[in-house]
A and B are shown apart, each in its own frame.
Chain A
């Protein structure tokens, strides 16, 4: 089983690396890069959402901040892009620690509310602070590869996003097997019990929040360099945040490859909608309906169907019973 899954992962990685060469035109390379970007972001979202069960609809705040941070460092301070990208991501992570301390004090629905509020706040700040960010007219970021034409730039960024996805997947796997990950899962199953057993729930939640913000911010920074123009209404849109949630839920939040699978379905579908129907608002309706259907009928995701792992608590009831019998006997 393990060799099969490892072989499958290697095969997928090889296919992904070969994709830009197999794609018949640059538009498909562009769509591929966009899909990989969403996959990296939703895998990163899943560091928080999958392990702790804290659903954040506001991760687009970190995406937008990462994008604007990188863009502003390049444009206003003439920092080389390779420096601006990590610096801005680290600044966003530090910011996420601060926000996290306030946000994870509340659970359940209130947390979701806070995450939505975060996006709206950042949108207001960036649009209001005209002198720094250019306000609603947006920010123009020079291309990091002026020698390449548009199609070649798509290829470069495809690989950059792919590398980011790889790092995000490895981080998720590493966390999943660590004591930290076990603590985060304990928070998801029963936060009060986890705390009474000595899991430092507050610190763990903030750490998971910041870690997932880091990769989303990196994706945002890459997006800024790739697209070259930032529109505050788009990068801070609640839609990007909800895409991350939808992809993760659709694929399966408890699985390493769940968000990736979700992204492979949702992102190309979104692009197809854009081509088939043009710039109408009906794609919002499609996204909304899919989200409603997933939440109602498949909250554990596609992968959960296939692995036949039962829904509900990951600690099966039988084992607790068996343990009790063991104690009694």
Chain B
């Protein structure tokens, strides 16, 4: 029983990070109908940059954020304007996956060349301690990860709902042509949408560096996990992705403590295939998901 509670708690804490990362993917899909396979690769790029900042200057990994977040925003705008927007629209879905897949390979190769293929990790003294609540151990690093992810998601939602840019972004997601008709500069907004998406990857990368060791090829596992999350949630649904992230995080946590790590990761794919068989549009998918 205690073990299950432990798994549940860890699952929720990890699910927060999944939710943050999946929200970025939902944004890309929303503004461009593009599945960004390179998102986890950028995540690991951010993790390695955090590692460099931490080891070179010996500062707290979160101090890398003022550097990486703006840089990744600019990078995201550049990826959208220079690469994704140039694709021919008739086969955008497939070609965009291949394009971003190429970007992911490029990043993985560069990381492997610069940092070598061995494991790297950022360990802080607070990461080794844990909070014990009713027999359940909650490591501080996971709690911090969850808090940072939750805070970033909250800011993201606030921007999407309240700000003028958020309105333009949502209008672009809902109906591109109509948005353009009422004066939204959809091209520019789509670029900023990519920028915001990659900025979430920068935050996620720092958090990731804190909670787990990483090596260049580990982004493939994350592609599978994140893709499963957005398919289960319904492509293009930000709320659906967040809910699916927590659910799958909990399932992973429970299987991890009761069976083993292989089956915990396998659960993502099991849910992916079950969703495709039962409800190909996902469980929270809206109008957007039907054609994909």
Which chain A residues have a beta carbon within 8 Å of chain B's beta carbons? Answer: 53, 55, 57, 102-103, 105-110, 112-114, 116-117, 120-121, 124-125, 127-128, 238-239, 242, 245, 249, 280-292, 295-296, 299, 312
Is A53 touching B277 in the complex (CB atoms < 8 A)? no
Residues of A close to B224: CB separation below 8 A: 116-117, 120-121
A244 to B286, CA, bound (A): 34
Give the 9 A-B CB pairs with smallest separation, nearest first: A281-B112, A288-B105, A285-B109, A284-B109, A291-B102, A288-B106, A108-B93, A128-B262, A292-B102
Is B265 touching A55 in the complex (CB atoms < 8 A)? no
Is B87 touching A296 in the complex (CB atoms < 8 A)? yes
Report how many A-B pairs have Cβ atoms within 8 Å.
Answer: 151
Tell me the minimal C-beta distance from B99 to chain A in angstroms. Answer: 5
Known: A53-B94, A109-B94, A110-B231. A288 touches B102 (CB 8 A): yes
Is A109 touching B109 in the complex (CB atoms < 8 A)? no
Among A238, A282, A285, A299, point to the contact of B88 (Cβ < 8 A). Answer: A299
A121 to B220, CA, bound (A): 11
Residues of B close to A296: CB separation below 8 A: 83, 86-87, 99
Is A295 touching B113 in the complex (CB atoms < 8 A)? no
A103 to B231, CA, bound (A): 13
Q: Considering only CB atoms, which chain B residue lies closest to A282 in the complex?
A: B113
| Subset of 10 A-B contacts with CB under 8 Å | A105-B276, A112-B94, A117-B227, A117-B228, A117-B268, A120-B220, A125-B266, A284-B108, A286-B109, A287-B102
Is A291 touching B101 in the complex (CB atoms < 8 A)? yes
A109 to B81, CA, bound (A): 20
The interface centre, meaning the residue of A116, A124, A128, A245 with most chain B CB atoms within 10 A of its CB, is A124
Tell me the minimal C-beta distance from A135 to chain B in angstroms. Answer: 10
Known: A109-B96, A112-B97, A281-B111. A124 touches B262 (CB 8 A): yes
Residues of A close to B228: CB separation below 8 A: 117
Known: A242-B101, A295-B99. A116 touches B227 (CB 8 A): yes
A19 to B93, CA, bound (A): 41
Q: Considering only CB atoms, which chain B residue lies closest to A110 in the complex?
A: B292
